[in-house]
Structure 1
Amino acid sequence: MSCECHDHCTIESRGRDSVSNPAWRRALWIALVLNLAMFVVELAAGLQADSVSLLADAVDFAGDAANYGLSLAVLGMAVVWRSRAALVKGLSMTAYGLFVIGKAAWVLHSGTVPEPLTMGVVGAIALVVNTGVAVLLYTFRTGDANMRSVWLCSRNDALSNLAVMLAALGVFGTGSAWPDLVVAGVMAALALSAGVTVVREARRELAAVPA
């Protein structure tokens, strides 16, 4: 069948090109392992320091690891499976945003102030990891939509780490939890917005797939 007039065929051919690139698969595996490791580190640090922004970043690392795993799992599969994977990603992002909002509300109610040193140090480590992953994936930034989205995700995560470090500085300077809560709130809002967008797009693609 000709692919000239069928978007799904174009997507399928791009998926096969991704599978045939061992460097792409290797980069995804490295990114997956690093994100899982940072999820564990930031989860423990966020709980120890009572930092909502660290917990938000930890859950973001978990979501990224799941995204890399899904990207590996559906490489070369039919477009319907990649759309279903995107739906899972979107729902996960939405759940992450709701979790962060709930945790922020709890901290606000309890009046807990996070520990800024732990926030700053772990945020710096996370920045190094995300920057490394972004550099690793930079080569593939002009590939298909999946490749571009994975690289952009890593680049944006590095910016989130900078925000966590700024929140740590704000907590240190003010002795208040508000800088931490503000950064966490922004991260949650972005996650909810992106999650809703991805779910909507995935459902549109699934509706367009012939039964």
Structure 2
Amino acid sequence: MVCSSCASDARDPTADKRWRRVLWVALAINAAMFAGEIVAGLASGSRALQADALDFLGDAANYAISLGVAGMALRWRSRAALLKGATIFAFGLYVLVTTIVAAFGDGVPRAETMGIVGTLALVANGAVALMLYRYRSGDANMRSVWICSRNDAIGNLAVLAAAVGVLGTGTQWPDLIVAAIMAALGISGGLQILRQATDELRGNTAHAEPDRAQVLPAVMK
């Protein structure tokens, strides 16, 4: 599932070279799987695959932010989080809208493609989770990244269940149900990121530029 806390600021994990290498590998895997899964989802007509691609996009963004801006000032991390949240929200909304539109049609996604790509996604997330397993008891940032990968593997199982459901029923409803749930989670995660990043930016600005009504009396004294 899309995670809204993977770029935590508890401690800069980039000081650990092994942690950085793991994040680079995880970033490459997630970016590649997003590109592959979104293409497969569009080609097969599976909204569940498109929604699952959202998870890979969100995680790739998380890893990129952890690597690129974790050591920068809070305002830059918050701005990067704004971009990430907006992207995840927009893509989740797209998947949700297309899922609702598809509900009025009679097309059936290709269960075989869903099964194959869903299995590859499960293997990819499982591999990332194994790489991150040693950091599951680290600081908030490390632990949250591990939890994200673990939860994504659970989401992949939902896609596989949808593939079995489509194959068994010959309808698109199992695919649409899973897609709607995952898209809604993506929208919710994107909104949480946007809200937290906005609060951080407002708090940082307030800290940097105090209210004149409070400063002037002190200066006049």
Same fold (TM over 0.5): yes
Q: Deviations over 1:55-93 (max 9, x none)?
A: 111232123212211211012112222222222222222
Is the Cα contact below 8 Å between 1:60 and 1:96 reproduced in 2?
A: no
- Is the aligned partner of 1:67 residue 2:62? yes
Question: Is residue 117 of structure 1 aligned with residue 112 of structure 2?
Answer: yes
Q: Where does residue 7 of structure 1 map in the other structure?
A: none
The alpha-carbon deviation at position 188 of structure 1 amounts to: 0.9
Q: Once superposed, which parts of structure 1, at least 4 consecutive aligned residues long, lie more than 4 Å away?
A: none
| Residue pair 2:54, 2:92 contacting (<8 A) in 1 also | no
Higher relative contact order (CA 8 A, sep 6+): 2
Post-superposition offset of 1:207: 1.7
Counterpart contact for 1:124–1:165, Cα < 8 Å: yes
Selected match of 1:91 from 86, 98, 107: 86
- Quote the residue 2:202 is aligned against: 207
Distance between the aligned counterparts of 1:59 and 1:90, measured in 2?
A: 12
Secondary structure, counterpart of 1:150 in structure 2: helix
Unaligned ranges ≥5, structure 1: 1-10
* Partners of 2:157 and 2:108 in 1: CA distance: 20
Amino acid at match of 1:56: A
Matches within 5 A, 1:19-168: 19-168=14-163
Find the residue that maps to 1:109 and give its secondary structure.
coil
CA distance in structure 1 between the partners assigned to 2:108 and 2:86 by the alignment? 30
Q: Structure 1 residues 170-179 or 69-78, which shifts more? A: 69-78
Aligned length: 198
Could you tell me whether the CA contact under 8 Å between 1:119 and 1:164 is conserved in 2? yes
TM-score (normalised: structure 2):
0.84
CA RMSD of aligned residues (A): 1.6
Per the alignment, residue 215 of structure 2 pairs with none
Larger radius of gyration: 2
Residue 176 of structure 1 and its aligned partner are, at CA, apart by 0.7
